[in-house]
Amino acid sequence: MKQDEGAAWSIFGYLLSGLLFWGGAGWALDHWLHTHYFVLGGLLLGMGASLYLIWLRFGRE
Amino acid sequence: MKGTLNLVGYGLSAIGPAIATGMIFAAYISGVARQPEARSVLQPIAFLGFALAEALALFGLVLAFVL
Amino acid sequence: MPLLRFLSQDGEGFVPPSTSDFNLPPVFGDNPYTTKPILLVFLSVIAVSVFFILASRKAAILPSKLQFAGESIYGFVRNDIARDNIGHEFMRFVPYLFTLFTFVLTNNIFGIVPLLQFPAMSHVSFPYVLAIFTFIVFHYVGIRKQGIGKYLKDIMFMPGVPKAAYILLTPLELATFFIVRPLTLSLRLFANMFAGHLLLLVFILGGDHLLKGVIGLKLISPFAFAFGIGLTFFEFMVQCLQAYIFTLLTALYIAGALADEH
């Protein structure tokens, strides 16, 4: 059960870093180009990427 | 009173993932307790469900600050 | 509504607790290095040292109560945290994990000890320093064990993924290992201690303020105090749990760095 707890926290970390990295990239693009839709795309991309990574790491048997 | 309503909205939206996470792990724990050898089958499913629920909670957290 | 207004008219002077309640003035004169959190950290170091020196001084086959208490804490960290997670090399890391656990636990519990009643970890700089130590330890261990090239390659490129996906995944792995892990490790401890102390402040100060109100409010204030006492026991549980989680995650990070493939 301890490894499970560690896995749960590392899933949380992956999701957070996905949202922060790609969402942050989208936010920077918005800031640079004076638009307002890249941040949403970046957040969705980051969430997809982190879910893919979590599936690779924890979902495969 | 000062502050932003975004955080109230985030608090409300976090209720759903909180209940979902609790239910996922409750089901996982009782499943493993009944049949310990089913653990390797249940573990990926439980973690993927947890990841999906948690993704919504974090999405709400980020949007509460971005919007 | 008039009744409500009557009941709440004495609530005007109530100042809800805020972050300014955490910025305590220096204890001795104007010296900024003698604030309460710093003194509590020093006190915790002294308390932990004295306790374990006394507990281990007269080690006997038939342990005294003090020796038993000390040995059960040590055994908990060594067996349940270090050995079960790290594997056969665990003895190297027991001193660090044990120091971390006792230090964080003592400082957390100072949050509910009467007269001290301030968790030093509710100032974010203390958890930051602890997380930086853990960060250095687990990366150093991983680099020493596998060499810097292989260690970074294991982090950045996981096998069995199409090449194009690395553009998406490698930044995430790097951000997780080098930024998010120490950040969440410290912020989790900080946020729990901060919120717990704020919660206790709300109930105790609120009960105290209700006691000064009209008769109807005086009758409510025992409930606020009762909730405050109940939450104090809840806080005790949270404080022990957070010290345990901090140490457990440190052990798991070290185990991950030692393992050949993640």
Residue C91 burial (CB count, 10 A): 11
Average pLDDT rounded to a whole number, residues A39-61? 87
Domain positions in chain C are: 2-258
> Which pLDDT does position C133 carry in this prediction?
93
Domain positions in chain B are: 9-66
> Is the Cβ of C152 closer than 8 Å to some Cβ of chain A?
no
CB contact at 8 A, C36 and C24? yes
> Which pLDDT does position C6 carry in this prediction?
55
CB-based burial label for C47 (10 Å; 0-12, 13-18, 19+): middle
* Residue ranges of chain C whose pLDDT lies below 50: 1, 262
* Cβ-count burial B43-58 (b if 16+ within 10 Å, e if not): bbebbbbbbbbbbbbb
- Pick left, alpha or beta for residue C115 (phi over 0 → left; psi -120 to 50 → alpha; otherwise beta): left
> Is the Cβ of C87 closer than 8 Å to some Cβ of chain A?
no
> Which pLDDT does position C102 carry in this prediction?
95
For the record, the structure tokens of C145 come out as: 């064990």
For the record, the structure tokens of C16 come out as: 């809800």
On chain B, the residues whose CB falls within 8 A of the CB of A61 are: 40-41, 44
> Which pLDDT does position A35 carry in this prediction?
86
CB contact at 8 A, C239 and C193? yes
Of C161, C184, C252, the CB nearest to A56: C161
Question: Which of C170, C17, C89 minimizes the C-alpha distance to A21?
Answer: C170
Residue A61 C-alpha, separation from nearest chain B C-alpha, in angstroms = 8
CB contact at 8 A, C256 and C110? no
Residue B5 C-alpha, separation from nearest chain A C-alpha, in angstroms = 20
Which of A4-13, A26-35, C177-186 is the least confident region? Answer: A4-13
Task: Please tell me the distance from the alpha carbon of residue A27 to that of residue A37, in angstroms, as a whole number.
Answer: 9
| Nearest chain A alpha carbon to C84 | A2
> Which pLDDT does position A7 carry in this prediction?
84
Judge: domain B9-66, CATH 3.40.50.720.
Answer: no
The residues, any chain, with a CB within 8 Å of residue A53's CB and separated by 6 or more, are A14, A18, C169, C172, C173
> Which pLDDT does position C88 carry in this prediction?
84
Helix (H) or strand (E) holding C198: helix C181-211
> Which pLDDT does position C161 carry in this prediction?
80
Q: Three-state SS string across C140-196, please?
A: HHHHHHHCHHHHHHHHHCCCCCCCCHHHHHHHHHHHHHHHHHHHHHHHHHHHHHHHH
**What's the pLDDT tens digit per position in B28-64?**
999 999 998 888 888 888 889 999 999 999 888 888 8
Taken in order C230, C233, C237, C238, is the CA torsion positive or negative? positive
> In terms of pLDDT, which residue wins out, B25 or C211?
B25
Residue C144 burial (CB count, 10 A): 12
> Which pLDDT does position B67 carry in this prediction?
76
Of A13, A52, A57, the CB nearest to C181: A13
Of A27, A47, A59, the CB nearest to B44: A59
> Which pLDDT does position A34 carry in this prediction?
87
